[in-house]
Amino acid sequence: MKNPVPHQIKKPPLLLSLVITEECNLDCSYCFVINKSQRKMSESIALSKVEKYLNSESDEYEHVQIDFTGGEPLLNFCLIEKVVNYVCSKQWNKSFSFSIGTNGTLITPGIRKWSHEHPCVVFALSFDGIKEVFDKNRSNSYDLVLSNIDFFRKWSDNKVKMTISTESIDQVANSIKHIHELGFEVAANVVFEDVWGAKKDEYLKVFDEQLSECITFYAENPELKPPYLVDMPIEALLFPRKKSERFCGSGKNMIAVDVDGIEYPCHRFLPMSSKNPQATPDLTFKEVNPKKCDDCILLTLCPSCIAYNYECNSDVDHRTTWHCEFIHLQALASAKLQYLKLKKEIQDNPPEGCDIYKGAEIKRKIEAIRILMGKTDLNV
């Protein structure tokens, strides 16, 4: 079995997402999967796809991360077992690893035992924070998931995914704190969809307050890793990427396979997930639209979803803008948190005592903070 440790992998891995079921046992309020069904991927399709990419002679990648997704993938756990056993029993041209994104409700004693016997498989959890929010968003499943939370602690460095919507925006800080209390890091994001309606300004005010509470929390707990929500890499503003470089690897080092074996750039292009599905969208970069996005200093930091762009505009680079103001607030929050951290760092280690490299790092941070804090209009 060819399976090197991550530091041996020099090229970005290929993320091969197998949508092994369109069924889910929950009905989450913000879910973008619009066409759930009981259809499942067959063993022959799953094995043919892993064979195709693990035996590939391509020099674009050395490692394949096989991700089982859905729907709720544990509803087709028997297929996961067969694929993992098959892959681990053979030699391949590429190294490999496995991941399963789950809602955490179906962790049986059998799955626990199997996981212990297959440490190469990482289980990733979606978890929306405190019980009040979690139950509103995720079909009253908090107590059940919490009863399984110990199972996920073996991957405590693997961030749990928290989604922010209208139902949870007033509890962002409390939910993030709760996830840390449970022993996990957080990956939190605001939904891309237009869910805010006429109350958007009210939601923005609440979100700003929540981000401020997060800033205080992380400043007082520097040992904790903040989410991208308040930890955007703002120094990148000094060295912006090309506009053609997109936020994720969709269409580049990501492939999603639906239950019929059809390949897509990512899972959000699937008929299961999109009102405008497309297996072969034009991914050639031409220009960024609308103009306010093209002119925005946050362009290359903005987590724009090319699949959702395509669903709404039939153009992967014509960006949706319903979440612009939220990203603006996240960037400002990131600058404020960086400022507080840098202030303490300078107090503890005065710049005159730093070597040239540390001094340059501090200078870059100060300039990035100045750019954001001094900019009142980010074209949102």
Tokens of 238: 């000094």
Pairing between strand 254-257 and 14-19? Answer: parallel
Contact, 122 vs 99, CB < 8 A? yes
Q: Which of 21, 8, 32, 63 lies closest to 308 in space, CA to CA? A: 32
Q: pLDDT at position 373, please?
A: 80
In-domain check, residue 92: no
Contact, 331 vs 301, CB < 8 A? yes
**CA–CA dist 141, 134 (Å, integer):** 7
In-domain check, residue 337: yes
In-domain check, residue 190: yes
DSSP secondary structure string for all residues of 235-301:
GGGGSPPPTTS-SS-BTTTEEEE-TTS-EESSGGGSTTT-SS--SS--------BSHHHHH-TTTTT
In-domain check, residue 102: no
pLDDT tens for the 380 residues of the chain, in order: 455 444 466 789 999 999 999 999 999 999 999 999 999 999 999 999 999 999 999 999 999 999 999 999 999 999 999 999 999 999 999 999 999 999 999 999 999 999 999 999 999 999 999 999 999 999 999 999 999 999 999 987 789 999 999 999 999 999 999 999 999 999 999 999 999 999 999 999 999 999 999 999 999 999 999 999 999 999 988 887 788 888 888 988 999 999 999 999 999 999 999 999 999 999 999 999 999 999 998 998 899 999 999 999 999 999 999 999 999 999 999 999 999 998 887 787 776 667 777 778 778 888 888 888 875 444 43
Domain containing 216: what range?
A: 128-231+323-375
In-domain check, residue 196: yes
Q: pLDDT at position 380, please?
A: 36
In-domain check, residue 279: no
- Total domain count, the chain: 1
pTM strictly above 0.75: yes
In-domain check, residue 140: yes
